[in-house]
Amino acid sequence: MAIRTIIESKYFKELAEVEIPEESAAEAGAGDAAPPVAKVEPKCLPWYPDRMAWQLNLTRRDIRRVEAYFKLHNFLISETESGELIHFSQKYFIFIFFLL
C-alpha cells in the first residue's frame, strides 16, 4: 500500500502536470510520420480490488521524450527488480484474480 501511495501522490501527480514537448522539424526529420507524444492519464482498473491495478498507454518513444514518463518508468523497473511490484499485462490479471 505504501508503494501505491507513492505512485499516486508523486508520479501520477507529475503526470497530471506534465507539459508535452513540441517537436521541431529538425527532430522529426524528413518524412517521419510518427505521431506526437500524447498526454497520459493513469486509468485504475475498477475490477481489481484496492486500486492495486493501473493502466498506462505509453510507447517507448513517449517514455524517451517526456521526463515524467521516464521517471515513472525507471521507478517501476526498480521496484519490479526489488520484488515490490509485479508487472502483468491486463489479460493476465484476470487469470490471477480468479486464482486468488
Residue type, 66: V
Report if residue 31 sits inside a domain: no
pLDDT tens string 2-17: 889 999 999 999 999 8
Report if residue 57 sits inside a domain: yes
pLDDT tens string 63-93: 998 999 999 999 999 999 998 888 777 666 6
The answer to whether residues 63 and 88 touch, using CB atoms and an 8 Å cutoff, is no
pTM of the entire predicted model = 0.73
Give the angle subtended at the CA of 48 by the CAs of 45 and 50, to the nearest 5°: 100
- Domain containing residue 80: 2-18+39-99
Domain tally, the chain? 1
Report if residue 24 sits inside a domain: no
